[in-house]
Amino acid sequence: MRSTAASVFFLGFLSLISASPQSSALGPSGVTAPTGGGAGAEAPPAGTAPGAVNSPAGDFDPTQLIGLDLKAALDSLGAPQEVFSFRGQDDTEDNVVFFYSDYLYLFWYRNRVWQVRCDHRFARPLFGLAMGMPREVIERTSLHPLIPRGDSLYFDLDDSKYPLRVRLVFAGNALADIYVYRSDF
């Protein structure tokens, strides 16, 4: 039954990637947070989707989503609340984005997840960090070497099957977005 639902979802998928209220979402180089939530939708706590991926410490682990194909993503997280398209800074970077009600975004390239975004409304910790944390606290306590660039801090993850980079985006002094993406793209 699930594969039938996935097939039906996929067939309707192409008609759903037109302009959307969520389409203001930006990839690793941007920070605009879309409005989120459909009509009257209340967001459940993050990580409550079927098959949510958590680390042993209880943090949400977005690295486990990188590289998933459509079937695996649907099996793990269920159907997204919304699907929209997003054009990156480069005209050749067109993304299909799945938006989930817990403010998780999956960015797709060639039928695989290449980037995961959790915006400022995401309620679960990631990498021991919580949205809204002050930048100086993160800089003081990080277990990873941090690379500052503009309104963001970056660090690389070397313990994955893909080269991954994490971007921590700050609004003012508070952590507002976390992106995890394949750094070889």
**What is the reported pLDDT for 157?**
92
Q: What is the pLDDT of residues 14-29, one digit of tens each?
A: 333 333 334 344 444 3
Q: Is 21 helix (H, G, I), strand (E, B) or coil?
A: helix
30 φ, ψ (degrees, to nearest 5): -125, 170
Q: What is the pLDDT of residues 51-79, one digit of tens each?
A: 446 554 678 999 999 999 999 999 999 99
Distance CA 64, CA 161 (A): 10
Q: What is the pLDDT of residues 88-131, one digit of tens each?
A: 778 777 889 999 999 999 999 999 999 999 999 999 999 999 99
Domain segments of the chain as ranges: 2-35+42-182
Instruction: Look at residue 46 and tell me whether its pLDDT is greater than 70.
Output: no
**What is the reported pLDDT for 42?**
37
Mean per-residue pLDDT, 141-166: 92
pTM value is: 0.72
**What is the reported pLDDT for 6?**
41
Residue type, 48: T
Percent of the chain with pLDDT over 70: 69
Percent of the chain with pLDDT over 90: 55
Q: Highest-confidence range of 30-34, 50-54, 133-137, by mean pLDDT?
A: 133-137
CB proximity list for 95: less than 8 A, separation 6 or greater: 27, 85, 86, 87, 88, 107, 108, 109, 115
Burial class for 11, CB neighbours closer than 10 Å (0-12, 13-18, 19+): exposed
Element (H, E) at 99: strand 94-100
Other CB atoms within 10 A of residue 111 CB: 10
Distance CA 167, CA 29 (A): 9
Distance CA 98, CA 95 (A): 10
| CATH for the stretch 2-35+42-182 | 2.60.460
CA distances from 34 to 28, 49, 118, 155, 166 (A): 14, 20, 11, 24, 20
